[in-house]
Amino acid sequence: MASEARFMFIGLLFLILKAASAQQLGEYNVKAYGASGDGKTDSTKAFQDAWKESCATEGKPRIVIPEGKYLVGPLVFEGPCKGTQVIELRGELLASTDLSSYESNWIQFEYIDGLIITGNGKFNGQGAIAWPHNECPKRWSCKLLPTSLVFSNVTEATITGITSLDPKLFHMQVFRSHDMTFNSIWVTAPGDSPNTDGLHIAESSNIVINNAVIGTGDDCISIGPGNRNLSISGVTCGPGHGISVGSLGKTAGENDVVGLTVTNCTFVGTSNGLRIKSWQSSVSALKASGFHYEDIVMKDVYNPIIIDQEYCPYVSCPEKDPSLVKITDVTFKNIRGTSLAEEAIKLVCSASNPCEGVQLQDIHFEYTGDKPNANFKSTCVNAHGSSNDNVNPDSCF
Ligand SMILES: *[C@@H]1O[C@H](CO)[C@@H](O)[C@H](O)[C@H]1NC(C)=O
Ligand SMILES: *[C@@H]1O[C@H](CO)[C@@H](O)[C@H](O)[C@H]1NC(C)=O
Ligand SMILES: *[C@@H]1O[C@H](CO)[C@@H](O)[C@H](O)[C@H]1NC(C)=O
């Protein structure tokens, strides 16, 4: 009896010491808050509780998500926090498949200055169940399904090594954020999953994406209005719709998109490569300028280089006025590979706002489509710029 009590005492002491040292280290393991890695038990509350304590801790507190599968409903990680928040994701998070449990997105980070996400874990949106409910490809105004990861009003953040699988809508969205870096991320969904953009960025600045493998059903990376100084390098895209600026001009009050470099990227079997698009009838008049694309390889891409200012997919647009988006200063340099379309370079700009300062330098495509007597060419409509002699198919300038 006495020895049993002694064991209990020692055990208790051990637990207290362990908890104290965890506090000292600022380490918050979701399991200590009741999360279960069985893939079935709802662990939402445990994650929110761990965040609450971590966010209130100074220095560099760390939330640890060990190996295992954690079912979590919508989560909001809200700041401002006292320290830089580190999230070490080793396990896999599974999104709830109950659509009625979502108000908007799955996992949202907001108002956080200083965020580090590491650890080779996975965010699994379990989207397949939701895709048949996506009406956006059919309707001009539609209710949006949840995006998997949203960063809004986040600054000084680094996201490294994570994987995003099968989101219900977009994989990741960056909004009103600045100074964020994404390093070595994996993004995967079937090529026919609707609106599963890899990374959508809007109203943000100084965002860097280095090394990513993105295969999904919509844009690999899409760049919306209000962005400044974005840099994308070492990204492999496919399947999907390529790296796209736009669609611009759909809603009122859109801000300019200024400064984008895309370098050392590879596209395999995507429907577009480098694309800039604006809606046929725009509500907003904005500028899109200072884009630099260099050292790009394409394999069997349908539209390798495309500016499309008459964008109007799936549905007929309400009106058919020329776009009010003004595109200037866009350089395509050292871009090579194979094109499935006869028009490997297609620059279709607005009749009321022609493109200016488009440069084509050292571009070489071969045709790999299936038309026997293909008219392999580049097309310019309302597009002004220049090219060097080293452009195939011949430049339209
Ligand atoms: C969120 O970001 C926007 C744009 O950067 C800024 O105007 C706004 O003040 C921010 N809101 C908060 C609560 O930080
Ligand atoms: C553009 O972004 C990069 C990376 O975040 C940063 O180093 C650079 O200072 C930024 N440039 C401007 C003009 O803000
Ligand atoms: C692309 O990567 C190569 C090899 O790392 C490097 O030498 C080159 O400068 C990069 N291109 C650009 C435009 O950054």
Convert the pLDDT of each residue in 277-303 to its tens digit: 999 888 889 999 999 999 999 999 999
Minimum mean pLDDT range among 145-159, 176-190, 293-307, 314-328? 314-328
- Whether 13 is covered by a domain: the verdict is no
- Whether 181 is covered by a domain: the verdict is yes
Instruction: State how far Cα 87 lies from the chain centre.
Output: 19
Ligand 2 midpoint to CA 170 (Å)? 26
Residues within a 6 A CB radius of ligand 2: 179, 206, 208, 229, 231
Q: Is the peptide bond before 146 cis (omega within 30 degrees of 0)?
A: no
108, pLDDT greater than 90: yes
pLDDT digits (tens, 9 = 90+) for 27-41: 999 999 999 999 999
Residue with the smallest CA separation from ligand 1 atom 1 is 153
d(CA 260, CA 364): 22
The whole-number average pLDDT for the span 261-283 is 95
d(CA 330, CA 227): 16
Residue with the smallest CA separation from ligand 2 atom 7 is 206
Q: Is the dihedral of CA 293, 188, 213, 297 positive or negative?
A: negative
Residue 109: beta bridge partners? 77, 151
CB 101 less than 6 A from any atom of ligand 3: no
- Whether 113 is covered by a domain: the verdict is yes
More confident residue, 376 or 251: 376
Query: Could you identify the residue written with the tokens 């919509």?
Result: 218
The whole-number average pLDDT for the span 96-109 is 96
Query: Structural domain of residue 166, as residue ranges?
Result: 29-132+142-392
CB 211 less than 6 A from any atom of ligand 3: no
- Whether 172 is covered by a domain: the verdict is yes
- The candidate with the shortest Cα–Cα distance to 159, out of 137, 179, 139, is 179
d(CA 173, CA 163): 14
Q: pLDDT band at 372, cuts 50/70/90?
A: very high
Q: Give the pLDDT score at 142.
A: 78
Residue 62: beta bridge partners? 27, 86
Supply the DSSP symbol for 321: P
The whole-number average pLDDT for the span 103-124 is 97
CB 294 less than 6 A from any atom of ligand 3: yes
- Whether 8 is covered by a domain: the verdict is no
Query: Could you identify the residue written with the tokens 């994989």?
Result: 171
Ligand 3 midpoint to CA 335 (Å)? 13
Ligand 3 midpoint to CA 234 (Å)? 9
Q: What atom in ligand 1 is closest to the CA of residue 111?
A: 14
What ligand is nearest to the CA atom of residue 335?
3
The whole-number average pLDDT for the span 137-152 is 86
CB 334 less than 6 A from any atom of ligand 3: no
- Whether 99 is covered by a domain: the verdict is yes
Q: Is the peptide bond before 80 cis (omega within 30 degrees of 0)?
A: yes
- Whether 353 is covered by a domain: the verdict is yes
Instruction: Give, for 18, the enclosing helix (H) or strand (E).
Output: helix 2-25
The answer to whether 88 and 54 have CB atoms below 8 angstroms apart is no
Q: Give the pLDDT score at 56.
A: 97
Supply the DSSP symbol for 194: T
The whole-number average pLDDT for the span 111-116 is 98
Residues within a 6 A CB radius of ligand 1: 111, 153, 176
Q: Is the peptide bond before 393 cis (omega within 30 degrees of 0)?
A: yes
| Torsion (CA) 290, 291, 292, 293 in degrees, nearest 10 | -170
The whole-number average pLDDT for the span 44-68 is 97
Percentage of residues in the chain with pLDDT exceeding 70?
A: 92
Percentage of residues in the chain with pLDDT exceeding 90?
A: 86
d(CA 279, CA 321): 10
Residue with the smallest CA separation from ligand 2 atom 10 is 206
What ligand is nearest to the CA atom of residue 208?
2
Spot the catalytic one: 133, 171, 178, 241: 241
Minimum mean pLDDT range among 134-138, 228-232, 391-395? 134-138
Q: Give the pLDDT score at 8.
A: 55
**Category of 241 on φ-ψ map: left (φ > 0), alpha (ψ -120 to 50) or beta:** alpha
Q: pLDDT band at 268, cuts 50/70/90?
A: very high
Q: What atom in ligand 3 is closest to the CA of residue 264?
A: 1
Ligand 1 midpoint to CA 153 (Å)? 6
Catalytic annotation present for 241? yes
Report yes or no on whether pTM surpasses 0.75.
Answer: yes
Look up the CATH number of the domain holding residue 194.
2.160.20.10
HSE-up of residue 353 (Cα within 13 Å, Cβ side): 24
More confident residue, 155 or 13: 155
Residue with the smallest CA separation from ligand 2 atom 11 is 229
The answer to whether 302 and 331 have CB atoms below 8 angstroms apart is no
d(CA 371, CA 368): 9
CA–CA distance from 335 to each of 13, 233, 294, 397 (Å)? 65, 14, 7, 17
The answer to whether 361 and 321 have CB atoms below 8 angstroms apart is no
Q: What atom in ligand 3 is closest to the CA of residue 263?
A: 13
Rg (CA), the chain: 24
Q: Which two tokens stand for residue 347?
A: 């620059």
17, pLDDT greater than 70: no
Tally of domains in the chain: 1
- Whether 222 is covered by a domain: the verdict is yes
Mean pLDDT of the chain: 93
Instruction: Using the CB atoms, write b or e for 234-256: b if 16+ within 10 Å.
Output: ebbbbbbbbbbbbbbbbeeebeb
The preferred substitution site among 176, 180, 255 for testing ligand 1, maximizing ligand atoms within 8 Å of CB, is: 176
Query: Could you identify the residue written with the tokens 């995967």?
Result: 188
Q: What atom in ligand 2 is closest to the CA of residue 179?
A: 5
Ligand 2 midpoint to CA 206 (Å)? 5
